[in-house]
Amino acid sequence: MSLFPPVEACLSQAELIIDLGALRDNWRQLAARLAPAACAAVVKADAYGVGSDEASQALFNTGCRTFFVAHPSEGARVRGVVGADASIYVLNGLINGVGRLAPYATYALKPVLGSLDDVRVWSSSGLAGKVAAALHVDTGMNRLGLHVDEALALAPQAQALGLDLVMSHFVSSEAPGDTHNAEQIARFDAVRAAFAGLRASMANSSGLFLPQKPFYDLARPGYALYGGNPTPGAPNPMRPVVTLRAPVIQTREIGIGESVGYNAQWRAKRPTRLATIGVGYADGLPRSLMGTESHSGGDALVEGRRCPFVGRVSMDLTVIDVTDVPASVRPGAMVELLGEAITVDDVAARAGTIGYEILTNLGRRYARSYRS
């Protein structure tokens, strides 16, 4: 028996709050939008960083019965949470062939066959027809999936392979005017016609907002479920799910011309009050959010006001200019780095990346709490 308390009892420098009520509301909104087609949930990458166990359970309790993951290990974890009454598809195909097929039978996972090699392995595995599978058809992404002509040639084997779903993936669904969308839909329509009787799926989060309404039988939202904006350039229709807050560790005053952080990349142009928080790039805060002489970086919500990062983001620390907020900001005061005011898309834009990367890089050092 350990003489020490559990690690979870230790105080963390920062807290990550996941609103499962918002997650459920987001799924309900998308499900209503595409009805009578079904709404699945993509819960790969630890449910986009928010926690696979908690997210999968909340979504299952709300009515979701189809889940998508990237790897069999993720699927096995989801199966342990949602039980037998859900379909779980594994997107990345049959890695390394026959030697890795056991989890599909053990956990009733449905592989997404994305190449002719996958098809050959599956058809000779003894599982085809016992465990259902999906067929991924590449209509333009050139990443995973069979070519359209390869898929059409396989249509007569659909039953022997145990297929219950044919699917594809959009290249640019977040851009409604992109010509790729119409081209991909036309290609997929031809494939769907050849696989009559199977469910079809193409729409991701942004695909649910395309004017063509390519909902088919099943949609696969991911990012939008977790509060990301599926309609860039327009107001976000989704509720924020993640809030990240951190306490101020230390404050200090510096004079004109003094620098902050490694390599003196930022210098004060006025008498400045600084606040340092215990969050850095090791916690998933991109280093590109640094504030320098020539670059406006990230910011934090302090006493209701957005205050800029100054100097380079360090491994464990970030410095904020709090000159324009009340002098009451002292060690222990909480600042908000992600939430309703500073969204995951805001942070991504300032970091020169995408919100998906921000969410999936959320660190494990945060004290996580879940609200329903």
Q: What are the structure tokens assigned to 94, written together?
A: 């049959």
Widest CA span of the chain, in angstroms?
76
Domain that holds residue 258: 242-371
Q: Are residues 319 and 190 in the same domain?
A: no
Residue with tokens 């195909």: 93
Residue 176, preceding peptide bond in cis (omega within 30° of 0): no
User: Do 198 and 122 reside in the same domain of the chain?
Assistant: yes
End-to-end CA, the chain: 34
Same domain, 79 and 220: yes
Query: Could you tell me if 67 and 159 lie in one domain?
Result: yes
Looking at the fold, whether 246 and 205 belong to one and the same domain comes out as no
Answer yes or no: is 29 within a domain. Answer: no
Query: Do residue 166 and residue 314 come from a single domain?
Result: no
Judgement on whether residues 247 and 338 belong to the same structural domain of the protein: yes
Nearest to 285 by CA among 223, 370, 365, 367: 365
Instruction: Spell out the residues 6+ positions from residue 174 whose beta carbon is closer than 8 angstroms to its own.
Output: 206, 230, 231, 232
262 annotated active-site = yes
Residues 67 and 119 in one domain: yes
Residue where a domain terminates, one of 226, 257, 288: 226
User: Among all chains, which residue has been given the structure tokens 């340092």?
Assistant: 276
Residue 235 lies in a domain: no
Clarify whether residues 304 and 340 are in a common domain: yes
In this structure, the answer to whether residues 208 and 249 fall within a common structural domain is no
In terms of Cα–Cα distance, which of 271, 289, 294 is closest to 342? Answer: 289
Distance CA 249, CA 229 (A): 32
Whether residues 264 and 199 share a domain: the answer is no
Q: Is 149 exposed, middle or buried (0-12, 13-18, 19+ CB in 10 A)?
A: exposed
Which member of 48, 213, 262, 356 is catalytic? Answer: 262
Domain total of the chain: 2
Q: Under 8 Å CB-to-CB from 67, ≥6 apart: which residues?
A: 40, 41, 42, 43, 56, 59, 75, 78, 82, 86, 87, 88, 89
Question: 264: which DSSP letter?
Answer: G
Per-residue pLDDT of the chain (372 residues; tens, 9 = 90+): 567 665 654 555 799 999 999 999 999 999 999 999 999 999 999 999 999 999 999 999 999 999 999 999 999 999 999 999 999 999 998 976 655 799 999 999 999 999 999 999 999 999 998 999 999 999 999 999 999 999 999 999 999 999 999 999 999 999 999 999 999 999 999 999 999 999 999 999 999 999 999 999 999 999 999 999 999 999 999 999 999 999 999 999 999 999 999 999 999 999 999 999 999 999 999 999 999 988 889 999 999 999 999 999 999 999 999 999 987 799 999 999 999 999 999 999 999 999 999 999 998 899 999 998
What CATH number corresponds to the domain at position 298? 2.40.37.10
- Asked whether residue 247 is assigned to any structural domain, the reply reads yes
Question: Is 28 part of a structural domain of the chain?
Answer: no
For residue 252, the model assigns a pLDDT of: 96
CATH number at residue 174: 3.20.20.10
Q: Identify whether 44 is a catalytic site residue.
A: yes
